[in-house]
Structure 1
Amino acid sequence: MRTQQKRWRRFGIAAAVTAVVAMVAVAPNAAAAPNTPVTSHNHSATAGNTTAHTPRSLTSLATIPLRSSADFTYLIAYSFGNRVAPGQDTTRTVGAPGPVNEALADTVAEVRGHRDIPVYAQTEIADVLAAKYHMRNVIAIGPEKNHDGTLIYLSTDGVAAKVAAMRAATESTDVAGVIAFQDHLWRATYTSIANGINAFAPAGIAMPSTYDPQSGQQWTRSALAYLPTDYLGRAALVPRLLR
């Protein structure tokens, strides 16, 4: 299985690079001006925002930006999978956190330490932070609801956009630390940046990387199931980062 995962990762990286090149080729407005600061449609560039509004190139996107945890003014924690009880209607109720989100909550606690900085966490992580750590100053980011009460689950981009809107008043001085599953970390960090957030992964902190084969979300059960979706998401994100 590990050999298959390694082969798929190599294939996925090659496929992602090919997709990125193709997308840049057909999106001249995004690639023609790589020195233009990145801004989201809701936010203007500010001098203090050195990541979300810093010029970048394709080669600069090969690595995830890192920063010391001591610099963060708040954290964003992106969930990964869940556990669904037999008979549970996930169109109306959120699944239980499961082992991956529990590990992500542990990582939040490690990065935050004894500092009382805000944590914007998806519900599956926020629930663990409350139950296990009794952590204060946690803002839960949950699904939205349709008129009939069914849930609208947020994408990574949807979560980032919500956090960006809530932090708009302090955007110019904020430094956000991103907590996410290892294979999701690149996309989580750069999606945050694409939404105008000055975002970094915490330097020297290992992110959870073990998949949950019993996850209620099938695409998060293994690298083979997850990586194709993630690589496509990365490719789609690149033009937003280069414009």
Structure 2
Amino acid sequence: MGWTVCQGTGTAVADPPAAPAPVDLWTVPTAPADSASLIVAYSFGNRIPAGVDATRVIGEPGPVNEALAAAVIAARGDRTVPVYAQTEIAEVLRTRYGLTDVVSIDPERNADGTLVYLSTDGVAAKVAELRGAAAASDTAAVVAFRDHLWRATRTTAKRGFQAFAPAGVTMPGEYDPQSGQLWTTSPVLYLPTDYAGRLALLK
């Protein structure tokens, strides 16, 4: 805080506090895709086949994760940078694109065999653990659903990476009303939770 001397009185008064910097919850940092030393891909929703116990079986990728896999391929181009992708995206990368070196980030299981939900931070933490000391110098191109991209990029950075969205790569933004994860079926259901998560990352 500064001080100003009032002319004629010689009295020093405190300057008003500076206005706080505006909070930016929308702008995603970008960089050329070919500057990335790895790609981190976050899934968004899934499809649960009829008769399947969704608490024990990982759903099928569905159209959104298929589009995310296409974004990974676009970001990678003809380079051989490592790709770390959540299960649903990794499956498409292997079966549709023949990517044999993708590292699948899979959920854990409880003692009774039920799946443990893998959060955005849980994915970033697993990738950081796998990268070890290299994470400090890694440049991570983040692939995620458009409304998830800010939080996915910021969360990846919180785990020690220099993280950005690959410039020129289109991220899917159309919700799947048939997704097996209810909160990913529409912006009305998804965005309030995502915005709360963005605010939490600013703390």
Q: TM tier, shorter chain?
A: 0.7 to 0.9
Confirm whether residue 202 of structure 1 aligns to residue 166 of structure 2. yes
Tell me the equivalent position of 1:51. Answer: none
> What amino acid is aligned across from residue 168 of structure 1 in structure 2?
G
Tell me the equivalent position of 1:137. Answer: 101
Matches within 5 A, 1:75-90: 75-90=39-54
Tell me how far 1:174 sits from its aligned partner. 1.1
Partner SS, residue 225 of structure 1: helix
Tell me how far 1:59 sits from its aligned partner. 4.3
**1:233 & 1:59 partners in 2: Cα distance?**
14
Higher helix share: 1
User: Whose radius of gyration is greater, 1 or 2?
Assistant: 2
1:122-150 per-residue CA deviation (whole Å, 9 max, x = no partner) reads: 00000000000011220000110111111
Tell me the equivalent position of 2:6. Answer: none
Tell me the equivalent position of 1:36. Answer: none
Tell me how far 1:58 sits from its aligned partner. 5.2
Identity, % of aligned positions:
57
> What amino acid is aligned across from residue 93 of structure 1 in structure 2?
V
1:201-224 per-residue CA deviation (whole Å, 9 max, x = no partner) reads: 111221100110100011101111
**2:178 & 2:113 partners in 1: Cα distance?**
27
Number of aligned positions between the proteins: 183
Tell me the equivalent position of 1:148. Answer: 112
Unaligned runs of at least 5 residues, structure 2: 1-20
> What amino acid is aligned across from residue 207 of structure 1 in structure 2?
M
Indicate conservation of the 8 Å contact 1:117/1:137, yes or no. Answer: no
The RMSD of aligned alpha carbons is 1.2
Structure 1 pair 189/162, CA: closer, same or farther in 2 (3 Å)? same
Confirm whether residue 174 of structure 1 aligns to residue 143 of structure 2. no
Confirm whether residue 100 of structure 1 aligns to residue 68 of structure 2. no
Higher mean C-alpha deviation, range 139-148 or range 167-176:
167-176
Which of structure 1's runs of 4+ aligned residues deviate more than 4 A?
A: 57-62
Scaled by the length of structure 1, what TM-score is found?
0.73
**1:107 & 1:139 partners in 2: Cα distance?**
16
**1:184 & 1:212 partners in 2: Cα distance?**
14
Unaligned runs of at least 5 residues, structure 1: 1-56
